[in-house]
Amino acid sequence: MSAGAILWVSVDKEMAKERLSFEQSLSSGAQSIASGYAQYLTRSIDQMDQVTMQLKYDWESSNGALDLRKLVIRGMFTSPQYMEVAIIDRDGSVVTSTASPSTAKAKYAGRSFLAWHRRNISSIVRISAPEADAETGKSLVRFTRRLDSPDDDFDGVVMVTVTSDYFSAFYDAAALGGKGMLAVVGDDGRIRAARIGNAISYPSKATLTQTPRFGLPREAQAFPSNGETWFGPQWFADGDRRFVAWRTLKAYPMTVMAGISESEQIAPLENKWRTYRQIRAAAEAAILALTVVLAYVLHLVERRKMRLRSVQAAYRLATEAGEEGFYMLHPLRAEGRIVDYRILDCNERGAFLLGKGKKEVLGQALSSHYQAEEFARLLEVYGHAMERGSYREEDEFQPIAAPAVRWVRRKAVRSGGDLAVTLRDISDAKEQEGKLIRLANTDELTGLPNRTWFMKSFEATIVRAQEKQEIVALLFIDLDKFKNVNDTLGHATGDKVLQEAAGRLRQALRPTDHVARLGGDEFTVVLQQARDDDEIVRIAQRILAALAQPFHAGAGAMEVGASIGISVYPRDGMTAGKLLKHADIAMYSAKGSRRGTYSFYRQELYDALRTRINMERELAEAIDADQFVLYYQPRVDAASGELLSLEALVRWRHPLRGMVPPLEFIPIAEGTGLITKLGALVLDKSCQQIAQWRAEGISPVPVSVNVSAVQFQYGDVHELLRRCLRQSNISPELIELEITESSMLGEHATIAGRLAAIRELGVKMAVDDFGTGYSSLSQLQRLDMDVLKVDRVFTVDLDRTAESRVLFKAIVSMAHALGMRVVAEGVETQAQAAILRELGCDELQGYLISKPVSPDETRSILRRSRQLISPRNEERTLRLATSG
């Protein structure tokens, strides 16, 4: 026999071998796919089983309060397979659903699942036959589970609706090729899902032309529960022949089929065999090459097998890649008590959560994974589940081998005599939660604990102090000039100041003292175990000193300072709330007296505050009852002493307290916002007064009206002015507005616009109390102010120090250069008046000329003003006039 003949034989043999190996590979391929598919499906249904079970428990324990939309918002049921998750009542109406609310009453009333669950007193999950969705045309499958009322009556169902491809999403072209087949057949002889190739075709008729029955040997078309064989072209819509393997699920009444197409898989081989035959006809010379080809082909087949095996492994992994660890635990008893559990089964994740591989876990005692003490507690937890049927909690049991799994959410459900447990690692979520709690307790800007934290911790401190009979001091700290900084230099600078202040506070304190930021520029410090007032004072002084240092934020150094109010437990209050209130009151008094000081709480402070609060209330009533009168203070020409104008100064004619000066109530009105109403009242009164003088035949002089910064900012002064002028029908030159420098702070364009609009009406503008605020002369020029009223503090020293004269002279020259008239406020002596005339000051106002006087007195001044003499200061004014 020639070598060629041997080769012929061997080629035939190889071909036969290859055919065999092809069939084997088809078979093992189909089998492993079917097994993998069965596993996948079991897992998928398990998942639904768990989901519906969980929902059932959630629903029954929520007493009807479960809101599925809320779960969706929390990210549950958002993966694409979930079409709808719903609770349906016994009449078939949707109670709550993840889908957009349906108004259809008794939407599911006629559905077979409802009737089925009504009939079957069983908590088993039911899987519906697929149905076409009316809206989307998609094929849907519904998982339903019966709900029981407290007395075990039918109470509706939990429904989870998925698309059919939830079942067949398993399809993998690498294993099945382009014409592979997957199907799920129910014991009821109905196909739940089926597909050929990647194109999913529904309804399933388009895939399978007949439905095989599995596990029912006596019926026609019957097959055993598991098996594999060739299915002829009569079975398939595309007339292909397929090698099909099937597996009936152990836990559910379903069988999966996986088929590999012959035509698709065999075609490449047929080609090869044709080549072999040609080669066989060819010369022996080709033999060597042939052997190589064969070797290659065999190699290919081998590779395919390998690939199938790895695919199979991959599927197994995929089916187990869920987030949740899953265990079946079998209780081990000693003397009737459960002392341990054996791990009957678990998924990879479950093993991982124990810090082990699956092999190391199966069959093992659960106790071997935990410290004895921990396990004893865990035993208790699972004991509850065994007793009650289910148990759920978040806990911190740490398996020995998995220290990174710090927090788990544990669900345990009794199933038969065993316990089904799912675990989810929620360590990250817990950490996040912790972070959120920290965030909720921390002031973002300064990093100090915030108000929330302070309230909680201070309460706890007081409780502890009560037990241990300790003294606790609460320091309420408020920055003095913070508002100024914020208003003038902007919020960014303000923020920096607050941060810096926080840092200084931390440094000034002992580690046992707690500092928190209540909000704004308010801080609290709690001194635990304070010895006595002296110690508290020392710390308060240290804090004041720290905050008195200039702050360097933004452009330059600025002084901010602080005031501190102190309340002491138990002296000033027994509760956290009282102590905080009293420290706050004490702080007010510290601010009121001299800034930059501390003040202990005293009962009188509380009384003073009460007065203030009362005044707020009374003030509102006073405005409605019009208890206000305007007094007028003349302004005279510095040189001639001639009356030029009057400043309107408001007085509160209090029914009990008599005439209340403005400094006692204007700040309160500003604080409460009443100032807008009060300011309007004053302006209105001024205009009416002028109109009345005119009506009485008195030739009027201009009246200047004070406008508070708060009113200027929030009240529409322009509109108010326009209305008052119109109503009183007086000339706008008869009104002048006095605004303080603080009114001019803020966004330049806005302020300038507001001022321009007022000036447009023909009303002059004066800067009040110049020198006490922050403005600069150049700013005043840009704002086009008419009059500069220099504050009393510059007048006081004129006849005493040379510096004050130099300063005043400078102000006058600059104001004149900017086209403003200068008024000296608070002129009380002849000497001052003489110097002011010398310095070129234009007008004088002050007690020397006249105190603010009542409307009646004002009228007589006006009557006599034609003689340019103020009656009460006649002599002085005369002297003033002659010496000028």
Residues in the site for Ca ion, rule: CB under 5 A? 706, 738, 768-769, 825
Asked if 871 interacts with ligand C2E (CB under 6 A), we say: no
Smallest separation (angstroms) from ligand C2E to the CB of 795: 8
Alpha carbons 181 and 177: distance in angstroms, whole number:
9
Asked if 822 interacts with ligand C2E (CB under 6 A), we say: no
Contact of residue 843 among ligand C2E, Ca ion, none (CB under 5-8 Å per partner type): none
CB of 245 closer than 8 Å to CB of 260: no
CB of 823 closer than 8 Å to CB of 840: no
- Owner of token pair 């959560």: 353
Alpha carbons 98 and 83: distance in angstroms, whole number:
8
Nearer to Ca ion, 443 or 738 (CB): 738
Nearer to Ca ion, 228 or 738 (CB): 738
Asked if 633 interacts with ligand C2E (CB under 6 A), we say: yes
Nearer to Ca ion, 562 or 739 (CB): 739
Tallying the residues shown for the chain, one arrives at 884
Contact of residue 398 among ligand C2E, Ca ion, none (CB under 5-8 Å per partner type): none
Q: What is the DSSP string of 139-190?
A: EEEEEEEEEE-TTS-EEEEEEEEEETHHHHTT--HHHH-TT-EEEEEETTS-
Nearer to ligand C2E, 669 or 839 (CB): 669
Choose, by CB under 6 A, the member of 422, 636, 852, 865 that binds ligand C2E: 852
Smallest separation (angstroms) from ligand C2E to the CB of 737: 10
For the record, the structure tokens of 630 come out as 């305007």
Contact of residue 576 among Ca ion, ligand C2E, none (CB under 5-8 Å per partner type): none
Nearer to ligand C2E, 649 or 777 (CB): 649
Asked if 649 interacts with ligand C2E (CB under 6 A), we say: yes
Smallest separation (angstroms) from Ca ion to the CB of 654: 22
Asked if 768 interacts with ligand C2E (CB under 6 A), we say: yes
Alpha carbons 248 and 34: distance in angstroms, whole number:
9
Nearer to ligand C2E, 212 or 679 (CB): 679
Interface region with ligand C2E, contact rule CB under 6 A, candidates 251-259, 591-599, 619-627, 845-853: 845-853
Residue 706-745 contact track with ligand C2E, rule CB under 6 A, x = bound = xxx-------------------------------------
Residues 6+ apart with CB under 8 A from 560: 479, 480, 481, 482, 485, 497, 501, 547, 551
Choose, by CB under 6 A, the member of 156, 197, 679, 702 that binds ligand C2E: 679
Smallest separation (angstroms) from Ca ion to the CB of 632: 12
- 354-376 exposure pattern, b = at least 16 Cβ within 10 A, e = fewer: bbbebeebeebebbbbbeeebbe
For the record, the structure tokens of 52 come out as 């519906």
Single-letter code of the amino acid located at 632: Y
Contact of residue 348 among ligand C2E, Ca ion, none (CB under 5-8 Å per partner type): none
Asked if 704 interacts with ligand C2E (CB under 6 A), we say: no
Interface region with ligand C2E, contact rule CB under 6 A, candidates 440-448, 489-497, 702-710, 860-868: 702-710
Smallest separation (angstroms) from Ca ion to the CB of 647: 6
Asked if 663 interacts with ligand C2E (CB under 6 A), we say: yes
Q: Return the closest-CA partner of residue 52 out of 74, 36, 68.
A: 68
Smallest separation (angstroms) from ligand C2E to the CB of 648: 6
Three-state SS sequence of 577-631 = HHHHHHHHHHHHHHHHHCCCCEEECCHHHHHHHHHHHHHHHHHHHHHHHCCEEEE
Task: Provide the 3-class DSSP secondary structure of residue 257.
Answer: strand
Nearer to ligand C2E, 350 or 715 (CB): 715
For the record, the structure tokens of 644 come out as 């030029």
Contact of residue 156 among ligand C2E, Ca ion, none (CB under 5-8 Å per partner type): none
Interface region with ligand C2E, contact rule CB under 6 A, candidates 60-68, 194-202, 329-337, 844-852: 844-852
Measured over the CA atoms of residue 31, residue 37, residue 40 and residue 41, the dihedral's sign is negative
Smallest separation (angstroms) from ligand C2E to the CB of 868: 19
Smallest separation (angstroms) from Ca ion to the CB of 769: 4
Asked if 682 interacts with ligand C2E (CB under 6 A), we say: yes
Which residue of this chain has its Cβ atom nearest to ligand C2E in the complex? 846
Contact of residue 846 among ligand C2E, Ca ion, none (CB under 5-8 Å per partner type): ligand C2E
Q: Which residues pair with 789 in a beta bridge?
A: 823
CB of 686 closer than 8 Å to CB of 732: no
Smallest separation (angstroms) from ligand C2E to the CB of 662: 4
> Site for ligand C2E (CB under 6 A): how many residues?
23
Q: What is the DSSP string of 379-420?
A: HHHHHHHHHHSEEEEEE----TT-TT---EEEEEEEETTEEE
Asked if 828 interacts with ligand C2E (CB under 6 A), we say: yes
Interface region with ligand C2E, contact rule CB under 6 A, candidates 77-85, 150-158, 661-669, 756-764: 661-669
Measured over the CA atoms of residue 116, residue 117, residue 120 and residue 123, the dihedral's sign is positive
Q: Return the closest-CA partner of residue 242 out of 316, 167, 177, 165.
A: 177
Asked if 446 interacts with ligand C2E (CB under 6 A), we say: no
For 411, counting Cβ atoms within 10 Å of its Cβ (0-12 exposed, 13-18 middle, 19+ buried), the class is buried
Q: Which residues pair with 143 in a beta bridge?
A: 127, 160
Nearer to Ca ion, 425 or 825 (CB): 825
| 238 phi and psi angles, rounded to 5 deg | -90, 5
Q: Return the closest-CA partner of residue 495 out of 525, 521, 522.
A: 521
Smallest separation (angstroms) from ligand C2E to the CB of 523: 31
Asked if 498 interacts with ligand C2E (CB under 6 A), we say: no
Choose, by CB under 6 A, the member of 92, 156, 180, 846 that binds ligand C2E: 846
Asked if 847 interacts with ligand C2E (CB under 6 A), we say: yes
Alpha carbons 165 and 167: distance in angstroms, whole number:
5
Smallest separation (angstroms) from ligand C2E to the CB of 472: 41
| 426 phi and psi angles, rounded to 5 deg | -115, 25
Alpha carbons 224 and 229: distance in angstroms, whole number:
11
Nearer to ligand C2E, 33 or 644 (CB): 644
Asked if 662 interacts with ligand C2E (CB under 6 A), we say: yes
Asked if 661 interacts with ligand C2E (CB under 6 A), we say: yes
Asked if 421 interacts with ligand C2E (CB under 6 A), we say: no
Nearer to ligand C2E, 161 or 676 (CB): 676
For 543, counting Cβ atoms within 10 Å of its Cβ (0-12 exposed, 13-18 middle, 19+ buried), the class is buried
| 228 phi and psi angles, rounded to 5 deg | -155, 140
Interface region with ligand C2E, contact rule CB under 6 A, candidates 16-24, 89-97, 170-178, 658-666: 658-666
Nearer to ligand C2E, 168 or 858 (CB): 858
Nearer to Ca ion, 508 or 649 (CB): 649
Nearer to Ca ion, 465 or 827 (CB): 827
Contact of residue 852 among ligand C2E, Ca ion, none (CB under 5-8 Å per partner type): ligand C2E
SS3 helix, strand, coil % of the chain, rounded to 5?
50, 25, 30
Asked if 749 interacts with ligand C2E (CB under 6 A), we say: no
Alpha carbons 316 and 807: distance in angstroms, whole number:
92
Contact of residue 663 among ligand C2E, Ca ion, none (CB under 5-8 Å per partner type): ligand C2E
Single-letter code of the amino acid located at 790: V
Binding region for ligand C2E (CB under 6 A)? 633, 648-650, 661-663, 666, 679, 682, 706-708, 768-769, 792, 825-828, 846-847, 852
